[in-house]
Structure 1
């Protein structure tokens, strides 16, 4: 690929609640491009080459000019917070106080931070340019009581597109009162090229660096137990296999993956990110590796896409998510790694997407 100028381009798209909704186009010296919106901290697209050098977007979503992306029921590309994934019954107890959250899943459980969560706000945005990356720094202040959560929380999410063809997502946060926190990005990927009618991801070949997963009930709430993948063959991606190979053995409805795997060696934000997943797409030669400091990765195969309003024709299994995160329902699961951020502490996590072609 020809050398390109390393640059960040900023564009005003619209105004939402009197604030500017902006698009940031990040380009590295190799010509890879990523588009980030300050609405919901959204990763709107990533363009990478196939084995013929042809660039194509591999992130599912809406055009930023399409007003449907403001509602975005599939959570295409957004930052989920304060708590990505589920909290049982929309409540938890912390330091002797019970907190009640929005029950935005069948009026029973809490999902992705609630009704007006981090994906429904304009974040403050600032361009950044380093010696080997282009980026954008996003900041959001969530007030005490926001969606039921305690404490005023300041979150910073920085997207960096490096000259090593990596997309780094760096998270940090501080609070003035103890609060659960579990930030993640909810991008849907299709390495064939992510567009309506582009087909499914079931022939993508995936490896997970995970020997166990979080067992859940029929509402996708953890039971508190971890299950070894060797005891449940559809969940075993320790050896690479097509995503769809064992789909027929799953019993959930609609059929597909939507589970949190436990990353081998993960969960230490003071150390370098470790491998969570590696995905290959045979027809284009595209490869994506995901590394993270988080303990878990929620692998989701877009099971609800055809039944979700306004998704512009994306098929069931038309994209996959690899949401690096704490375990679901950790505030109510004492055996899980802690998700509580306290005053005086700084929450940190790093997730890296490495792009290659073969």
Structure 2
């Protein structure tokens, strides 16, 4: 990632040229070989001495994504504003060790089951399984030592081409965090020259189990640690219904219409417009938004739009696409000023938002939501995309 002022100026000067490579501007680039690139490097060590690596993907339009082996984590995601100035738009830490000493869910691959499972229990084929309770009375994002805390292995790197990519893998043994079946997981991050970062999850099991994988990046399109935070950024979610939750943040089972409520993002509205509206008990329960939205398109074979966010000041736009039926919108309600992140920034409530494409929370205990079951010979697959652009 460019760190010095000189590096940032060079990136800004090269922005128009890079946009031309991507076919976005009509500027001649006769001598250029336009292609996304990937570079692999050390990224420090954990407190126990474990070596961590990172792969940086760079697109011809200037977008950069750094993925580290700890948690298969999107550690940084840089995007230009309307003036071509780059900023890292994801919350996180500057070192791998800090992700261990100050644990949180910032850009990690989460699983085996993203989001909450009530009581940490589910029943499969007549047998009940107990998971760790790491969210008061629930299991959250796979448990106490989920995939976010594992060191993944790099399987392959595509160093250049229309898309530069890295594939990481992890084997979760049978009984890991209480889940049945050995699970072999791969995640591929691939960046193209137009600002689309595709994240592709696959998982194979040797015994019936449940799986729900996603990425848990927290974004601020003005740049992480910005003074204004996320509340003026405008969001759209193509979902006519959402899943209300009880006091433990577990869905009640209702698919409630968003029309006429503070959950109506079917047209663009500022994230902060109703975030403190205590007249809606769901806002009180979640301390803001921490809810699953039922995407109108449902589960699809190809990624479809799950959410769009635009920062009116910088012009940066983030689109999230996914094949999954739901997206969890979390407005950073539990950032309380005790988390010190990149560049020494103190993260507070409203300093980041997450949009987590997923199967619905607690689906294993709520058959009306569908199924999270994965069986031998029938692999799990989820493809999602973070696509950045600029509104002129």
Equivalent residue of 2:219, what SS? coil
- Is 1:42 matched with 2:73? yes
Shift in Å at residue 24 of structure 1? 1.1
Residue range with higher mean Cα deviation, 344-353 or 72-81: 72-81
Hey, what's the Cα distance between the residues in 2 that align with 1:267 and 1:349?
Answer: 10
Matched with 1:277 is: 307
Kept after mapping to 1: 8 A contact 2:292/2:326: yes
Hey, what's the Cα distance between the residues in 1 that align with 2:244 and 2:313?
Answer: 34
Equivalent residue of 1:138, what SS? strand
Matched with 1:347 is: 380
Matched with 1:28 is: 59
Equivalent residue of 1:170, what SS? strand
Matched with 1:237 is: 265
Matched with 1:326 is: 359
Classify 1:198/1:161 alpha carbon distance in 2 versus 1 (closer, same or farther; 3 Å).
farther
Matched with 1:257 is: 289
Q: TM-score, normalised by structure 2?
A: 0.86
Equivalent residue of 2:367, what SS? coil
- Is 1:266 matched with 2:264? no
Kept after mapping to 1: 8 A contact 2:77/2:89: yes
Larger radius of gyration: 2
- Is 1:220 matched with 2:238? no
1:27-85 deviations in Å (ceiling 9; x for gaps): 112221111111001101111110111111101110125x2212443311101100010
Classify 1:76/1:327 alpha carbon distance in 2 versus 1 (closer, same or farther; 3 Å).
same
Matched with 1:115 is: 144
Shift in Å at residue 299 of structure 1? 0.3
Equivalent residue of 2:244, what SS? strand
Within a 5 Å distance, the mapping from 1:298-317 to structure 2 comes to 298-306=328-336, 308-311=338-341, 312-317=345-350
Within a 5 Å distance, the mapping from 1:1-358 to structure 2 comes to 1=15, 2-3=17-18, 6-16=36-46, 19-64=50-95, 67-106=97-136, 108-125=137-154, 126-129=156-159, 131-195=161-225, 198-230=227-259, 233-250=261-278, 251-253=283-285, 255-268=287-300, 271-306=301-336, 308-311=338-341, 312-358=345-391
Hey, what's the Cα distance between the residues in 2 that align with 1:258 and 1:31?
Answer: 32
Shift in Å at residue 13 of structure 1? 2.2
Q: TM-score, normalised by structure 1?
A: 0.94
CA RMSD of aligned residues (A): 1.6
Kept after mapping to 1: 8 A contact 2:318/2:387: yes
Shift in Å at residue 300 of structure 1? 0.3
Kept after mapping to 2: 8 A contact 1:199/1:315: no
Hey, what's the Cα distance between the residues in 1 that align with 2:350 and 2:285?
Answer: 13
1:221-243 deviations in Å (ceiling 9; x for gaps): 11111111015x11000111101
Kept after mapping to 2: 8 A contact 1:171/1:348: yes
Shift in Å at residue 172 of structure 1? 0.6
Aligned residue pairs, count: 352
Shift in Å at residue 128 of structure 1? 2.0
Kept after mapping to 1: 8 A contact 2:36/2:192: no
Kept after mapping to 2: 8 A contact 1:266/1:274: no
Kept after mapping to 1: 8 A contact 2:71/2:151: yes
Hey, what's the Cα distance between the residues in 1 that align with 2:73 and 2:296?
Answer: 28
Classify 1:226/1:353 alpha carbon distance in 2 versus 1 (closer, same or farther; 3 Å).
same
Kept after mapping to 2: 8 A contact 1:73/1:308: no
Hey, what's the Cα distance between the residues in 1 that align with 2:285 and 2:305?
Answer: 29
Structure 1 unaligned regions, length at least 5: none
Shift in Å at residue 249 of structure 1? 1.8
Structure 2 unaligned regions, length at least 5: 1-14, 19-33
Shift in Å at residue 214 of structure 1? 1.0
Classify 1:128/1:19 alpha carbon distance in 2 versus 1 (closer, same or farther; 3 Å).
farther
Shift in Å at residue 267 of structure 1? 1.1
